[in-house]
């Protein structure tokens, strides 16, 4: 295990800092690394991943970490924790880049800039054209998920709102249908969308398949960026109908032209040469960063979306010798080493590498800071299309980039303001409860709540507040069993024993042995219980039984009239109740955590209750109900819902169902 061994007071500034002592096996592994491209991973003594990096020369890159004195920097802090390393040799820098970022997203290393996975991007979907029925009239729809080759997809779009705007446009201009096939196939008269001229009524034959196919083709060309060409063709067809005195058809096309012209004016599509472009602006401030991604598809600006990476400060210094590795090309061997890349450049490179692993990269990127050329080359190899990046754009691209930069600054300012407000609440809570905590970032609060409906489907929730925000990935639900229905105290006792029982045993054993097992969790700094003296007393009993600190337990007792802002805090260690005041930042935080626990418990309870009611508590799980009797019940009443609506007498009339069994079935379903 690595450790910091303090030296005697240095006599020279170059001796300042620490001597890092690493396991012999680790140093041996470093010495035996090959001079080949690859990816390396650093682990601490507990097996946690510290850092994932790539190198053109593994031996030279990894050795540089251990050959230099990094003092008290973040690099030195990370290196002091390294207990072992793993490497993977690849064939090229491009392969190293892809593997590195796949591992970063999978392993979530502590010292890498990491962009969280978001939901998949939405698309506008146009179903495949067929020869019969509804397939003759493809529909336009919102879609999110894996794409199928037989359908046509346009996007991706930055948000669901952008897709819905595009669908509305398809309705206004081209009057394409949006209804599902079952609705389409069973209509006998046109719907409201036809009446308000948002659909051409293909379901009842108000438009021929040929005319609909023409509108569909125009819509697809518009989405692909041929808006001006579509406009010219519509105008030509309008004039042709007018020359033939077909004024009704000409009027329909005139309305389409007017709607399309209005859209083009709103979108300000002047430069159709830029059909598919992503605009990326990065802003760093206050230890946080924002990358604002704006999308242009088919020449239309579809909107933008902000991304906020984590571990920015920890990763900032780990690019310390990236430019001092072996030169990529022999022609650069004698050139001057370039300066260290700025934090903005590191953040943008990390975003591009991680974001375009799963999202197709457009051929053109407009960026606020220069992008690593090796990264662009790797993206080009991955997509099969040459990807270029423009740092100092002109004309329309400059307008787009300025918009993205402005939005990045606004979004980052909003985030910092929110985090500042949340940190203030955390500080207020720590001070109000006099918690022995030096680092506010480490405050961990766990809150418990019980939810049921007259004793049915009792669930307990545990929500976690850490790093100044709710950590939804750490939430837990507990299904409460073997208690008297409606006994909230017994439910609280059960959930606390299940949550802290094993942890208390592990901590007690570690105290006796003097060694903490790897991977052991930690007790929270505060345990909130939604309830007053009764629930707090139950929590106190559990903590006494487990040998845990009673000062951790705080009950949130509702005030007079159960009004929000009048809550009082009840303590398990004998302290007097505390009323913080309805304007207290500490009480606001407590209420936020308590309300989240309540919401999480209720949603779990309702889901469990709905499942029981919808499937009848699973008929086959009722004692005495086998496959044959279940089939007879479902056949007689038409399904589980019908069985649930039947009386005991009705159920008893089914072959093989006795009066006692009918009563048992009725009780289980109600």
Give yes or no for residue 166 having a pLDDT over 80: yes
DSSP state letters, 368-417: SS---HHHHHHHHHHHSS--EEESS--HHHHHHHHHHHHHHHHHHHHHHH
Q: Could you write out the three-class secondary structure of 488-519?
A: HHHHHHHHHHHHHHHHHHHHHHHHHHCCCCCC
- 455 and 497 housed in the same domain: yes
Per the domain annotation, does 58 fall within a domain? yes
- 597 and 459 housed in the same domain: yes
In this prediction, residues 487-495 reach a mean pLDDT of 91
What is the residue-averaged pLDDT of the chain?
A: 80
CA distance 583 to 591: 12
pLDDT number for residue 616: 43
Give kind and range of the element (H or E) at residue 28.
helix 24-31
- Residue bearing the bigger pLDDT, 21 or 351: 351
Q: Using the 3D structure, point to which of 607, 625, 642 is the last residue of a domain.
A: 607
pLDDT number for residue 290: 93
Torsion (CA) 34, 36, 37, 38 in degrees, nearest 10 = -30
Tell me how many domains the chain contains.
Answer: 5
Give yes or no for residue 560 having a pLDDT over 60: yes
| Cβ-based neighbours of 111, under 8 Å, separated by 6 or more | 50, 51, 74, 78, 311, 314, 315, 318
Alpha helices by DSSP H, listed for 224-293, are: 227-243, 247-267
Rg of the chain, C-alpha, whole Å: 32
pLDDT number for residue 561: 60
pLDDT number for residue 12: 38
Check if the beta carbon of residue 463 is closer than 8 Å to that of residue 475: yes
- Cα torsion 301, 306, 307, 312: sign: positive
Please, is 452 exposed, middle or buried when counting C-beta atoms within 10 Å of its C-beta (0-12, 13-18, 19+)?
buried
Give yes or no for residue 270 having a pLDDT over 50: no
The string of pLDDT tens digits covering residues 67-126 is 766 665 667 778 888 888 999 998 887 788 888 888 888 888 888 888 876 556 788 899
In this prediction, residues 531-541 reach a mean pLDDT of 90
- 241 and 289 housed in the same domain: no
**Angle between helices 74-81 and 58-67 in degrees, nearest 10:** 100
- 546 and 628 housed in the same domain: no
pLDDT number for residue 268: 45
Per the domain annotation, does 92 fall within a domain? yes
Per the domain annotation, does 428 fall within a domain? no
pLDDT number for residue 262: 62
Q: Using the 3D structure, point to which of 607, 632, 658 is the last residue of a domain.
A: 607
Give kind and range of the element (H or E) at residue 277.
strand 277-285
| Cβ-based neighbours of 260, under 8 Å, separated by 6 or more | 173, 222, 227, 230, 231, 234
* Of 596, 571, 605, the residue nearest 447 (C-alpha): 596
Quote the DSSP letter at residue 578.
B
Question: Within a 10 A sphere around the Cβ of 506, how many other Cβ atoms?
Answer: 15
CA distance 254 to 239: 9
| Cβ-based neighbours of 103, under 8 Å, separated by 6 or more | 39, 41, 52
Check if the beta carbon of residue 123 is closer than 8 Å to that of residue 154: yes
pLDDT number for residue 269: 42
Strand partners, 493: none
CATH number of the domain encompassing residue 566: 3.30.420.340
- 131 and 156 housed in the same domain: yes
- 258 and 282 housed in the same domain: no
- 602 and 634 housed in the same domain: no
- Residue bearing the bigger pLDDT, 272 or 323: 272
Q: Which two tokens stand for residue 322?
A: 């990236």
Per the domain annotation, does 45 fall within a domain? yes
CA distance 185 to 198: 19
* Percent of all residues in the chain with a pLDDT value above 90, rounded to a whole number: 16
Per the domain annotation, does 337 fall within a domain? no
CATH number of the domain encompassing residue 43: 3.40.1440.10
Side-chain-side CA neighbours of 133 within 13 Å: the count stands at 10
Give yes or no for residue 544 having a pLDDT over 90: yes
- 462 and 593 housed in the same domain: yes
Mean pLDDT is lowest, of 40-44, 71-75, 202-206, 376-380, for 71-75
- 380 and 249 housed in the same domain: no
- 58 and 185 housed in the same domain: no
- How distant, in Å, are the alpha carbons of 143, 216, 360 from that of 152? 11, 11, 15
- 603 and 620 housed in the same domain: no
Per the domain annotation, does 420 fall within a domain? no
Q: Which two tokens stand for residue 426?
A: 């955390």
The string of pLDDT tens digits covering residues 213-253 is 888 888 888 887 776 777 777 777 788 878 878 787 788 77
pLDDT number for residue 331: 37
- How distant, in Å, are the alpha carbons of 35, 253, 334, 557 from that of 322? 15, 60, 17, 56
- Quick one: pLDDT band at residue 525, thresholds 50, 70, 90? very high
The string of pLDDT tens digits covering residues 413-424 is 888 888 788 888
Q: Which domain holds residue 626?
A: 615-669
CATH number of the domain encompassing residue 621: 1.10.150.20
pLDDT number for residue 73: 63
- 462 and 594 housed in the same domain: yes
* Of 508, 505, 478, 504, the residue nearest 493 (C-alpha): 478
- Quick one: pLDDT band at residue 348, thresholds 50, 70, 90? very high
Residue showing tokens 């985030």? 415
* Of 626, 619, 632, 628, the residue nearest 665 (C-alpha): 619
| Cβ-based neighbours of 285, under 8 Å, separated by 6 or more | 412, 413, 416
Give yes or no for residue 441 having a pLDDT over 80: yes
The string of pLDDT tens digits covering residues 292-331 is 999 888 777 888 889 998 878 666 666 544 444 444 433 3
- Residue bearing the bigger pLDDT, 347 or 357: 347
Give yes or no for residue 396 having a pLDDT over 50: yes
CATH number of the domain encompassing residue 396: 3.30.420
Q: Which two tokens stand for residue 494?
A: 């059960």
* Percent of all residues in the chain with a pLDDT value above 70, rounded to a whole number: 84
What b/e readout covers 25-59, taking b as 16+ CB neighbours within 10 angstroms?
A: ebeeebeebeeebbbbbbbbeeebbbbbbbbbbbb
């Amino acid at each position: 295990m690595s450790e910091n061994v303090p030296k005697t007071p240095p006599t020279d500034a170059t001796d300042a800092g620490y001597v890092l002592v690493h396991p012999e096996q680790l140093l041996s592994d470093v010495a035996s690394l090959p001079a080949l491209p690859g990816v390396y991973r650093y682990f601490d003594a507990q097996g946690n991943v510290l850092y994932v990096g790539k190198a053109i020369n593994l031996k030279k890159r990894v050795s540089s970490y251990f050959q230099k004195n990094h003092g008290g920097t973040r690099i030195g802090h990370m290196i002091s924790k390294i207990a072992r390393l793993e490497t993977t040799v690849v064939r090229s820098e491009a392969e190293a880049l892809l593997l590195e970022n796949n591992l970063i997203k999978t392993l979530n290393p502590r010292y890498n800039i990491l962009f969280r996975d978001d939901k998949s991007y939405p698309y506008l979907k146009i179903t495949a054209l067929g020869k019969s029925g509804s397939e003759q009239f493809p529909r336009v729809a919102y879609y999110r998920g894996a794409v199928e080759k037989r359908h046509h997809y346009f996007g991706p779009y930055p948000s669901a709102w952008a897709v819905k705007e595009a669908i509305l446009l398809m309705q206004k201009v081209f009057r394409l249908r949006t209804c599902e096939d079952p609705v389409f196939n069973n209509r006998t008269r046109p719907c409201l969308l036809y009446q308000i001229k948002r659909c051409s009524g293909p379901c009842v034959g108000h438009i021929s398949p040929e005319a609909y196919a023409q509108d569909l083709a125009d819509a697809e060309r518009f989405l692909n960026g041929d808006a001006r060409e579509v406009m010219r063709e519509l105008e030509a067809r309008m004039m042709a109908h007018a020359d033939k005195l077909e004024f009704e058809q000409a009027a329909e096309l005139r309305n389409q032209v007017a709607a399309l012209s209005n859209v083009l004016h709103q979108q300000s599509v002047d430069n159709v040469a830029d059909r598919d472009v992503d605009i990326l602006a990065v802003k760093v401030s206050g230890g946080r960063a924002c990358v604002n991604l704006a999308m242009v598809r088919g020449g239309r600006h579809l909107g933008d979306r902000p991304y906020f990476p984590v571990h920015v400060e920890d990763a900032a210094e780990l690019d310390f010798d990236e430019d001092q590795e072996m030169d990529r090309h022999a022609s650069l061997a004698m050139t001057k080493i370039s300066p260290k890349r700025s934090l903005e450049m590191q953040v943008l490179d990390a975003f591009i590498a991680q974001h375009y692993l799963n999202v197709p990269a457009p051929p053109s990127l407009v960026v606020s800071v220069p992008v690593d050329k090796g990264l662009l080359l790797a993206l080009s190899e991955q997509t099969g299309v040459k990807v270029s990046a423009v740092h100092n754009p002109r004309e329309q691209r400059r307008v787009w980039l300025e918009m993205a930069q402005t939005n990045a600054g606004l979004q980052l300012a909003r985030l910092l303001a929110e985090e500042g407000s949340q940190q203030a609440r955390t500080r207020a809570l720590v001070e109000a409860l006099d918690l022995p905590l030096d680092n506010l970032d480490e405050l961990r609060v766990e809150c418990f709540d019980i939810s049921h409906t007259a004793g049915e489907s009792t669930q307990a929730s545990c929500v976690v507040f850490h790093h100044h925000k709710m950590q939804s990935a750490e939430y837990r639900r507990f299904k409460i069993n073997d208690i008297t229905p409606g006994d909230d105290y017994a439910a609280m006792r059960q959930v606390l024993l299940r949550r802290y029982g094993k942890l208390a045993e592990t901590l007690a054993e570690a105290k006796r042995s003097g060694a903490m097992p790897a991977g052991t969790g930690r007790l929270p700094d505060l345990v909130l219980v939604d309830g007053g003296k009764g629930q707090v007393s139950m929590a106190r009993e559990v903590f006494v039984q487990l040998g845990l600190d009673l000062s951790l337990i705080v009950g949130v007792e509702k005030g007079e009239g159960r009004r929000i802002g009048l809550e009082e805090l009840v303590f398990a260690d004998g302290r007097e109740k505390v009323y913080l005041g309805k304007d207290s930042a500490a009480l606001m935080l407590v209420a936020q955590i308590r309300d989240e626990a309540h919401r999480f418990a209720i949603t779990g309870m309702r889901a469990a209750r709905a499942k029981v009611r919808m499937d009848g508590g699973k008929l086959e799980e009722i004692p005495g109900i086998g496959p044959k009797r279940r089939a007879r019940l479902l056949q007689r009443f038409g399904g589980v819902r019908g069985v649930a609506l039947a009386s005991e007498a009705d159920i008893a009339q089914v072959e093989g169902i006795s009066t006692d069994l009918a009563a048992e079935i009725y009780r289980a379903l109600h």
